[in-house]
Structure 1
Amino acid sequence: MTKLKVGAALMVADLAAHRDWLIDGQRDLETQDFLFPDNLGDAADPLIEKAKSALTGYTGRLGIHGPFYDLPLDCRDPEIRAVVQKRMNQGLDVAARLGATQMVVHSPYTTWDHNNLNMTLNARQNQMLRVHETMNPIVERAQTHGVELVIENIEDIDPTYRVDLAESFGSKYVRVSLDTGHAHYADGSNGAPPVDYYVRAAADKLAHVHLQDADGYADRHWRPGQGSVNWQPVFEALVDCAPQARLVLELRDSKDVLPGFEHLCALGLAE
């Protein structure tokens, strides 16, 4: 089977320790500091400079995790929507200054939505319209900067919902992200399909993957091999459907990145 190149999602403080590995393979990288509100606006400046310094010689595909705490994309309240848009724009500011070409945002779909959205006529369509009210100006600006927005599954039980949402924007700059541990949690705890089904549901709309292992009960962010994700069918689906997707290990402890990578290599899946 074709082996896929694997990179990492890291805090800026952890870049130096992984610099050689990242640069030797020019691996995909996602910086994660900017998901926190305290690291946006003027507070982003020193982190951006530190990241640039640590990444001298790096020419791989760079992305950031955008802000998401307390930021629902499907706002009903216009005043809350303005706050969400401000934070998303601050994320795009960071991406533009770093030269990042991808920003992760979180899916609006909850477990409640799964059981209720299709109960009422047009409820799902109306939720999608609310997301557009929030995100249309963000998508327009992302296109200007050449930043791809990828929608990550969080509580999503039906893997097609956020694919439909991404497609509804009609833009090549809005695509789908997959978090393997979130999908495994949804499978184990909420009756969702297995992780590889999420890959195949997204197909070539899948542009980004958080690789993490879990137990199907919680969002563990363990290194591959510590949990019960079946990596073989996941990588087979990636090779079949989305070999171009950015694959980054998103682990609770950055010291687990290389051991997790080595586990996937030992399975003959990664390089």
Structure 2
Amino acid sequence: MKIFISDLVLLGQDPVSNVRVLKENGFNDIEIMMDGAFWDNSQEERFELVQELKKFEVNYTVHPPAWDINLTSETKYIRDASFQAYADAIEFAGWLGASHVVIHPGFTFAPEFDKKVAIKHAKESIIELCELANHANVKLAIENVGYNGTSILTIEEYVEFLKEVPEEAGYLIDVGHAQLNGWDIASVIRQTSSRLIALHLHDNDGQGDLHLPIGKGVIEWEVIFHELRDLNLEISYILEYGQNTSLEYLKTGQERLKNELSWKLI
């Protein structure tokens, strides 16, 4: 459908400034990341922020805090705080008119932690968040997260994860994370295609979550593009490049996507 640009590339700066910079560089579809000190604001201040962001007349998606929160933490205090962070992000997205909110189902950071229990916590929280998403008129995009043993879901479990979850939730496949976990990326796209909302697109060296530009790592992009052309999906493509990456790489990535998938973009 559209090519979004994550403002991860400008992480740590004022979100209004980030959107202004991206808009001035020709990007009209933006994913806002809610990380950093600029998000330590009250509900009233956040509503005022929405009014400023709406002035740019761009399309938005919303990524809640990616660091420090965990819906599947072994500690209930952390699970509850994480749930509230997502609830606040859904409210913010509704005010902003965003199309979806990214949801990380959680992580297990020690081998002693039971992944089955973690999956149960994640699913229960996401079902509750679906009710809030329904009221806010936004979708929840459930992302595959974690690598080096921290992911709570195998590829098979990820594909099955939303079977008992309301339709307010769909899949967001992070191609970089899938690569790090050794997933067959084209296969998981195909298997989740009926509820696929978006892709996070970035590259890596197969060892770390580097968020490199497309083509600067080891991911076999031609296989992925072939699958996407074959499926002809109405989804969003989100370039999620790392902090301080040159904006020229975003422009190059956008052009490559247009060339590879031009017949399906609007």
Q: TM-score, normalised by structure 1?
A: 0.77
Match of residue 22 from structure 1:
27
Partners in 1 of 2:91 and 2:85 — Cα distance? 10
The CA deviation string for residues 137-183 of structure 1, in whole angstroms up to 9 with x for no partner, is: 322111111111111112247323233222221x1111111111111
Choose the corresponding residue for 1:49, options 40, 48, 51. Answer: 51
CA offset digits 1:51-81 (Å, max 9, x no partner): 222x22x3x4x31002232222224544333
Distance in 1 (CA, whole Å) between partners of 2:35 and 2:231 is: 28
Describe how 1:227-266 pairs up with structure 2 within 5 A: 227-241=217-231, 243-252=233-242, 253=245, 255=247, 256-265=249-258
1:171-186 mapped onto 2 (5 Å cutoff): 171-186=166-181
Name the structure 2 match of 1:131: 122
Aligned to 2:202: 212
The Cα of 1:111 is off from its aligned counterpart by: 8.6
Letter of the structure 1 residue corresponding to residue 253 of structure 2: G
- Contact 2:203-2:213 within 8 A present in 1 as well: yes
Name stretches of at least 5 consecutive residues in structure 1 with no aligned partner.
118-122, 187-191
Look up the match of 2:4: 7
- Matched residue type, 1:159: I
Distance 1:5 1:101 in 2: 11
Q: How many residues align?
A: 245
- SS of aligned partner of 2:172: strand
**Contact 2:71–2:78 (CA under 8 A) maintained in structure 1:** no
Match of 2:142 among 148, 151, 176: 151
Q: For the structure 1 residues 202 and 109, does the alpha-carbon distance in structure 2 shift closer, same or farther, using more than 3 Å as the test?
A: farther
> What CA distance in whole angstroms lies between the structure 2 residues aligned with 1:131 and 1:211?
24
* Other-structure match for 2:156: 160
Distance in 1 (CA, whole Å) between partners of 2:230 and 2:107 is 26
Whole-Å Cα distance in 1 between the matches of residues 190 and 107 of structure 2?
19
Contact 1:204–1:242 (8 Å) recurs in 2: no
Q: Is residue 177–residue 206 contact of structure 1 (8 Å, CA) maintained in 2?
A: yes
Residue type at the aligned position of 1:52: K
Between the aligned partners of 1:149 and 1:258, the Cα distance in structure 2 is 27
Query: CA RMSD for the aligned pairs?
Result: 2.9
Unaligned 5+ residue runs, structure 2? none
Amino-acid identity (%): 22
* Structure 1 runs, 4 residues or longer, greater than 6 Å off: none
TM-score, normalised by the number of residues in structure 2: 0.78
Summarize deviations over 1:23-46 as a string: whole Å, max 9, x none. Answer: 4xxxx43112x1447515426355
Give 1:91's aligned residue: 89
1:186-208 CA distance string (max 9 Å, x none): 2xxxxx23322331232222211
- In the alignment, the residues of structure 2 paired with residue 16 and residue 92 of structure 1 have an alpha-carbon distance, to the nearest angstrom, of 23
Equivalent pair of 1:224/1:264 in contact (CA under 8 Å): no
- Per the TM alignment, residue 209 of structure 1 is displaced from its structure 2 partner at its CA by 0.7
